[in-house]
Amino acid sequence: MSTNTNNETMQTVTRRVDAAVIGSGFAGLSAAYEAAKLGKRVLLIDKMPNPGGNSVMNAGQIAAVGSPNQEKAGIKDSVELMKQDMLDAGVSLNHPNLLEKMISQSWDTVKWTMTEFGIQYRDRLTQMGGHSVPRTLSTMNHSGRDIIDPMLSKIQYMPNVKLEMKTKFERFILEKNDENGQDEVAGIEVSHNGVTQDVICDKGVILASGGFSADIPFRKIQVPTFGEKVMSTNQPGATAEVIKESLKISALPVQLSHIQLGPWTSPDESGFGLAPFFCIGAGFPYGIIIDPDTSTRFVNELGNRYERSMAILKMCHPVVCMTDSEGAKHSLEKDLTKLEPTLKAHNSIEEVAEEYGMDPIVLRETIDKYNASVAMGEDEDFGKLLREDAAPLVKFPFYSVRLWPKVHHCMGGLHINSDAQVMHVDGYPIKGLFAAGEVTGGVHGGDRLGSCATLDCIAFGRIAGKNVATFNKKKEGDLHNVAT
């Protein structure tokens, strides 16, 4: 049961809880909170020194259908429409049952973050790439921290939740169901500072460990071109060990080879960086992307992530995202000095051309043409949905960043049913095992739309937390056969 059991002096410690949750991002915190609120003793572990996982690096955006914000703005939206948007982006690889479950409770999910944790959102909705209508709510500081921090604050004071950092999941503890011979998850083995513990979970285990974007050996088996030379936006803990241990107990993976690139990242900074905050808020909706080789546009700046990333990769060199001083005001990071030196300022079109080796005459034509499109309200060249408040690029300084896609999100992962139960290769739910968020697959299919991951994590995190709490795995005292 433990790597240390051979050594008599290194006796394995055994603990007993109702539920263990692996990972402390959106999904893990939501799951732990719901289970704890139903009175269960929850152990919440994270291998990293700081809680929040990738969620703290998130832009604090969440898509929802039927918000009062939509009603106020007169935006017509529906579960069907958002589902179709996600299917279109996901090339219909999405699991419809998961989409329906998640989207139908999308506004409830946002409301829950407001009522339970006091999280606040801006009134104005954003229409992100690939979404048919504005439906994305943004936190006040455009940061996942705006959600993670209040959640953590509340959860840390719950007497029946214990959050343990630098505590690593090692493997599952299984027991066989005498009636059907199926393996069930009885608990997990964890390690902390070299000490191993067996954690027996009377109700079950929830996997909320995220994706594997930073796990080069694992991801490059699924997508060989995403090897050492492609950077990742993710924190270094975004690795595959939980998925691998799940595969070893016959959890079925889905669509592991569908891995998303982020089109808004810069090669001039590490990780997710700050360039995306400029591009998502300002550069893409209020500016243009230019190939420095031709000094022209080449893609719909608000197309889906796959289209944009592939269009940039096809250039075989970084490209440039640029807007003017008015456009730059929409940057999600308001203090543009924080973006230096990745973000550059230019006092003339010639300066832009000089910086990137472009042809100043062609660049001016490109800008003039885009400005004419904005004036007409229609982008004939690339079909970009121009914002009502989009304006011609005229006011200097212009601002620009170089773009090169990075590995951002794993659409594939463990197959779950709509109760967040992890499915066995043979088609039944593995008893005692739940999962939510990026560790699962099937919600986003072939490509994920922006602001749908936060919804995915919180909605299925809650489902997993509530279900683990009410899950009648076995009668009391049935754990006597668990070796320690």
Query: So which residues are the catalytic ones?
Result: 305
Let me know: does 174 contact 483? Beta carbons within 8 Å.
no
Stretch that binds a copy of itself, among 43-51, 86-94, 195-203, 451-459 (CB under 8 A): 86-94
Let me know: does 27 contact 151? Beta carbons within 8 Å.
no
If the CB atoms of residues 11 and 92 are measured against a copy of itself, the closer one turns out to be 92
Asked if 182 touches a copy of itself (CB under 8 A), the answer is no
Residue 348 C-beta: closest distance to a copy of itself, Å: 40
If the CB atoms of residues 141 and 257 are measured against a copy of itself, the closer one turns out to be 257
Asked if 372 touches a copy of itself (CB under 8 A), the answer is no
Asked if 176 touches a copy of itself (CB under 8 A), the answer is no
In sequence order, which residues have a C-beta less than 8 Å from that of residue 449 and are 6 or more positions away? 63, 85, 86, 89, 128, 129, 130, 131, 304, 305
Locus of tokens 């200097």: 396
E strands along 72-158, which residues? Answer: 136-138
In sequence order, which residues have a C-beta less than 8 Å from that of residue 438 and are 6 or more positions away? 27, 54, 210, 211, 409, 410, 413, 453, 456, 457
Residue 89 CA to residue 270 CA, distance in Å, equals: 27
Residue 223 C-beta: closest distance to a copy of itself, Å: 6
Residue 433 C-beta: closest distance to a copy of itself, Å: 15
Asked if 405 touches a copy of itself (CB under 8 A), the answer is no
If the CB atoms of residues 221 and 361 are measured against a copy of itself, the closer one turns out to be 221
Asked if 92 touches a copy of itself (CB under 8 A), the answer is yes
Phi, psi of 255 (to 5 degrees): 55, 40
Number of residues that bind a copy of itself (CB under 8 A): 28
Residue 356 CA to residue 319 CA, distance in Å, equals: 9
Residue 430 C-beta: closest distance to a copy of itself, Å: 12
Asked if 5 touches a copy of itself (CB under 8 A), the answer is no
If the CB atoms of residues 219 and 406 are measured against a copy of itself, the closer one turns out to be 219
Instruction: Among 40, 47, 95, 308, indicate the residue that binds a copy of itself (CB under 8 A).
Output: 95
If the CB atoms of residues 170 and 268 are measured against a copy of itself, the closer one turns out to be 170
Residue 157 CA to residue 142 CA, distance in Å, equals: 26
Residue 461 CA to residue 370 CA, distance in Å, equals: 43
Residue 208 C-beta: closest distance to a copy of itself, Å: 20
In sequence order, which residues have a C-beta less than 8 Å from that of residue 372 and are 6 or more positions away? none
Let me know: does 4 contact 196? Beta carbons within 8 Å.
yes
If the CB atoms of residues 257 and 342 are measured against a copy of itself, the closer one turns out to be 257
Instruction: Among 130, 276, 303, 412, indicate the residue that binds a copy of itself (CB under 8 A).
Output: 412
Give the orientation angle of helix 26-37 with respect to helix 145-156, to 10 degrees. Answer: 30
Asked if 178 touches a copy of itself (CB under 8 A), the answer is no
Residue 9 C-beta: closest distance to a copy of itself, Å: 21
* Cα Rg of the chain (Å, integer): 24
If the CB atoms of residues 60 and 412 are measured against a copy of itself, the closer one turns out to be 412
Asked if 211 touches a copy of itself (CB under 8 A), the answer is no
Let me know: does 148 contact 32? Beta carbons within 8 Å.
no
Residue 248 C-beta: closest distance to a copy of itself, Å: 5
In sequence order, which residues have a C-beta less than 8 Å from that of residue 414 and are 6 or more positions away? 207, 243, 246, 251, 252, 253, 254, 422, 423, 435, 439, 440, 441
Residue 174 CA to residue 430 CA, distance in Å, equals: 11
Interface of this chain with a copy of itself, residues 222 to 281, rule: CB under 8 A = 222-225, 244, 247-248, 250, 252-258
Asked if 483 touches a copy of itself (CB under 8 A), the answer is no
Residue 253 CA to residue 338 CA, distance in Å, equals: 40
Asked if 308 touches a copy of itself (CB under 8 A), the answer is no
Asked if 417 touches a copy of itself (CB under 8 A), the answer is no
Interface of this chain with a copy of itself, residues 427 to 446, rule: CB under 8 A = 427
Binding site for a copy of itself (CB under 8 A): 92-96, 217, 221-225, 244, 247-248, 250, 252-258, 412, 415, 423, 425-427
